[in-house]
Structure 1
Amino acid sequence: AALRKAIIDNTVEYPEFEGSEHHDILSVSLGFFDGALWKMLRQNVVDRSDKIDVWFSSPARHLIQDPATKTVIGVQIERDHVLRNIKANNGVVMATGGFENNPEMLEDYLGASKLVPLGTLYNKGDGIKMATEVGASLWHMNNYESLGMLHGLAFTVPTGKRGKLILGDWKAIYDGSVFLAGDDGTRYYPEDMTNRHGHVYSHGYWKVPQNNHHPHIIFDKKQYEKFADKETSIYPQAQDMIIEANTLEELAKKIGAVPEKLQEQVAEFNFFATEGKDYAFHRNPETMQAFDAEGPYYALSVSQTVLNTQGGPRRNARAEILSNDGTPIPHLYGAGELGGISAGRYQAGENIAECLIFGKIAGLNAARVKEEVFEHTAEEPDAVSSASQTEKKVNLGSDLDVKETYMVGANQYLGRSNAGVGNEVVVRITVDDDKKLKDIEILKQSETGIGAQAIESMPKEMISKNTYEVDSISGASATSRALKEAVKDAMNKI
């Protein structure tokens, strides 16, 4: 009960809103970031594999629309490098996510030159393109969510890579001789202010700050020691990312800032710290300490994050996608963050909730047998969706029907675990004649980010110590647990 109350209290992001006292949570596990909800939903699909076809690596390319009635009658997909027209007798549900990884859309709709994704790397706005092709109206295209340090930042990563989500009270980034500098080297944000999924308070409203292309955390030698303190550091790896310079002018040149502006900003910050009042951004003066008069000085490159976007095709309460004149596009439905209901702000858990709620509404309405029958002259379909009653022209099968077979040789054993964030982890171990670990092969896994690093590094330590009981990788506890369980399962068969 205490844990439940604590979670609720910490996830009510807008307690000032009417009705916030009714905020509640439902959880399928007591863990965090463990993929428990995904695993439960996936298992329900697997349990109904006789009724549901699942096609991996089969991206939708276009919706198929009757030219006369504007009814959506199917989807064109690409499977095994062949375009296939899939007929849908009763409806199509679009749940293709947002456009977090489409630079052109980020620039056009969010005015953001650079955002680091925290979630999937594959949401590129395909659903938005397909919906507009059939005349869908768009909404909430300028709203998105961030998460992470300060106002929603992560340490900079190469283009196309996922950022590391860092949560927790890390005082080194806001308490002391440290501030956040924008592209030109000047402050633009009160560093001790908390964010609400990337939205910060601004003159009576909560909004995501204007995106900077290459912001940096600026600090001096005193603050450097705080970043180097392994006992208080939330992310010790940041130590390897620190940029050092002997002077502020040199530091500005290294980070692409304007030297004069960075020097003036440090002088102004020192004045505020001495005066005991932040006249520019009203940061708590107790968290401000003047910079050292002489170098070295330091910087950490950070980037604005994007957890997910909200924009997409407009939908009504029946999950029907609407056309530009406000009427439903027949047989087309939407769910999830593709056209999410958040117009300007976001409440924690909202996208998951609307994914489940609108997913059910859309699914029920799409599966309902329609009274009207539309004749069309479009190209004949290659297949028909599972909900249809007509015979398939081409049997595309289901990827859930594919049985995975793994070979084992002498002194080799298979192990499995479903404890990770992704799908099943399967390993094959090889032992020597003394039954000691000689090799660990990862045959199947879908862990990403820091989890993928754990998959790569932990087997080496297991082999050297001849045990699955090794230290978990920080930030990848679920993946570490899955790998250890799989190796344990294999070793128990020796």
Structure 2
Amino acid sequence: MTEETDAVVIGSGVAGLTAALSAASRGLRVTLLEKAPVFGGTSAVSGGSVWAPNSKYPAEGSRPDSREDGLEYVRALALGRVDDRLLEAFVDNINPALDFLEKETPIEFSSNPHHPDYQPQLPGARPGGRTLQVGLFDTKLLGEHTQQLRKGHSSVPITRLEGDEWGMERPERWDWKLLAERVANGLVGMGAALAGTLLDACLKKGVQVHVNARADELERDAQGRVVGVHAVVDGERRSFRASKGVVLASGGFEWNKDLVNTFLGVPMDAPASPPANEGDGLTMAMSVGAALGNMSEAWWGPMIAASGDTYDGVPLYRPTSGLRTLPGGIIVNRRGHRFLDEAMNYNDFGKMLAAFDSHDYEYSNLPCWLVFDERFRRSYPIATVTPETPTPKWMLTAPTLGELAEAAGIDPAGLAAQVEEFNRHAADGVDPVFHRGESVYDLYRGDPEVTPNRNLRPLESGPYYAVRLFLGCLGTKGGPLTDTEGAVLDTRGARIRGLYACGNVAASPFGPGYPGAGATLAAGIVFGYLSGQALAGA
């Protein structure tokens, strides 16, 4: 069976939905194929933030932003590994892309004045205001597709700004009556809200959508132009002919162990995305001669695994962005040594886990553990465990630090010396070695009720606990190289006509860097928007 259309978009995360909406808004017939049985991709399980330098949503009390500062910052992050034209294309088109979404959808963006850039010490960085948040979405608007919107790891319909106000790590302070009403009314928040709003807009524009549709082969004409795609839809082999072209927006390759071993080259064992991200778009792009870039990079992060915690039938690895910043815990390697500021941004934390010691021929910080005291255990939720619930087997516990070290496989003498040194300084609210709790990024999280430093205090009396952390990622960020319109390039730098890519399937415009919360979605939105516009003009 062959279906004729103008454009095919592969993937239904925010990047793919933006590309589909962009093309449809220009009058194109668009078909969207989603491999999973639900729409939303990795975006739906994200925080739904959008990182927007020099945006039109100034944060109250923040220093005015500028194009020049935005460019200076992303250039510093990219370390010279990204075509400067791509960086300029992102900074110059984030506002037009947001304008487009506001015009075509009821989305309302709000600036988060307190969320800092991830490297606030770099030139051009801002201590707040660049990360934009979205509101809630009523899933009933999707009609027959209501149950086909991917649910997040947590079904709590809360906005990021509410979470900041109430305390993301203190759910006992949340307005659970209000949240229960929202659940009953079919409301969702964060990434699911953004993806749902875009899906609704696509449906209203006439985009033809399919779930359980795994695209696996691009079709080219005699001149080499991509003119369609072959896919298995609900078990049936089908062809989709696209007169204008195809957009790859199918996510990363983090769930494909062979591709991870080949390209990432580190023990990334804990992907935190839906397991449909197996590199289908990458392999299709490779098959038609696409040049690749940024293949050794991912949106890294340390993850926690609660035994029995699953998602889509596979183990669920949860990010630890807030947990690591809380006072009363430290993170140590097998020698019992701290090796970083525990409260640093998750992407650069992940790079520390991937560090290889050539002298000892080992990953010196893998495995590692979050070690904490009884006060910590009874104050904060840890993955699926709340302060009042019994301690599960996957959370090691012992009455003394020495016994805990033995149980975890940590050097007992090393841990004892480390805790003694840490406690001595933490009693004064300082960390002279790694400066935890000094940066504006660290201070965005933590526990404001703990003084003089919301990010650290001495480990007190036992029993003590240890939870293993894993090297994981939110998604990979390497793939086909693209130009400033999202067109895929071949190994000679020429366009592969009719083929575009955006989101995690494409080489990230930020290279090895991660500018701030929402940068992943922002890049997908910008280049999804540009791809759709380029298709319409093809």
Provide TM-score, normalisation by structure 2: 0.55
Task: State the partner residue of 2:271.
Answer: 117
Q: Deviations over 1:413-443 (max 9, x none)?
A: xxxxxxxxxxxxxxxxxxxxxxxxxxxxxxx
C-alpha deviation, 1:96, in angstroms: 0.7
Q: Distance in 2 between matches of 1:228 and 1:43?
A: 42
Identity %: 26
Please list every run of 5 or more consecutive structure 1 residues that lacks an aligned counterpart in the other structure: 201-205, 370-494
C-alpha deviation, 1:154, in angstroms: 2.8
Q: Distance in 1 between matches of 2:366 and 2:338?
A: 14
Contact 1:207/1:345 (8 A) holds in 2: no
C-alpha deviation, 1:136, in angstroms: 0.7
Q: Distance in 1 between matches of 2:374 and 2:135?
A: 39
C-alpha deviation, 1:58, in angstroms: 1.0
C-alpha deviation, 1:218, in angstroms: 2.4
C-alpha deviation, 1:238, in angstroms: 8.4
Query: What does 1:78-477 align with in structure 2 at a 5 Å threshold?
Result: 78-146=232-300, 152-157=302-307, 160-168=314-322, 175-176=327-328, 178-183=329-334, 185-191=336-342, 193-195=343-345, 197-200=346-349, 207=351, 209-210=353-354, 213-219=366-372, 223-229=373-379, 235-236=386-387, 239-240=391-392, 241-245=394-398, 250-255=403-408, 257-258=409-410, 261-271=411-421, 273-274=423-424, 281=434, 287=456, 289=458, 297-339=464-506, 340-347=508-515, 348-369=517-538
Higher relative contact order (CA 8 A, sep 6+): 2
Q: Secondary structure at the match of 1:89?
A: strand
Q: Deviations over 1:357-379 (max 9, x none)?
A: 2112212222435xxxxxxxxxx
Contact 2:267/2:471 (8 A) holds in 1: no
Contact 1:146/1:304 (8 A) holds in 2: yes
Which amino acid in 2 is paired with 1:180? I
Number of corresponding residues: 344
| Structure 2 CA distance for partners of 1:262 and 1:280, relative to 1, 3 Å | farther
Q: Distance in 1 between matches of 2:61 and 2:236?
A: 50
Which amino acid in 2 is paired with 1:267? A
Q: Secondary structure at the match of 2:243?
A: coil
User: Match for 2:197 among 40, 43, 50?
Assistant: 40
C-alpha deviation, 1:185, in angstroms: 4.4
C-alpha deviation, 1:48, in angstroms: 2.6
C-alpha deviation, 1:11, in angstroms: 4.0
Q: Secondary structure at the match of 1:69?
A: coil
Which amino acid in 1 is paired with 2:233? R
Task: State the partner residue of 1:58.
Answer: 213
Q: Distance in 2 between matches of 1:120 and 1:230?
A: 26
Contact 1:198/1:208 (8 A) holds in 2: no
| Structure 2 CA distance for partners of 1:213 and 1:231, relative to 1, 3 Å | closer
Task: State the partner residue of 1:72.
Answer: 226
Q: Distance in 2 between matches of 1:278 and 1:44?
A: 49
| Structure 2 CA distance for partners of 1:300 and 1:131, relative to 1, 3 Å | same
C-alpha deviation, 1:250, in angstroms: 4.9
Q: Secondary structure at the match of 1:303?
A: strand
Task: State the partner residue of 1:426.
Answer: none
C-alpha deviation, 1:313, in angstroms: 0.6
Q: Distance in 1 between matches of 2:130 and 2:436?
A: 32
| Structure 2 CA distance for partners of 1:106 and 1:28, relative to 1, 3 Å | same
Alignment root-mean-square deviation, CA? 3.7
Q: Deviations over 1:99-121 (max 9, x none)?
A: 22223333333333244333323
Which amino acid in 1 is paired with 2:194? L
Provide TM-score, normalisation by structure 1: 0.60
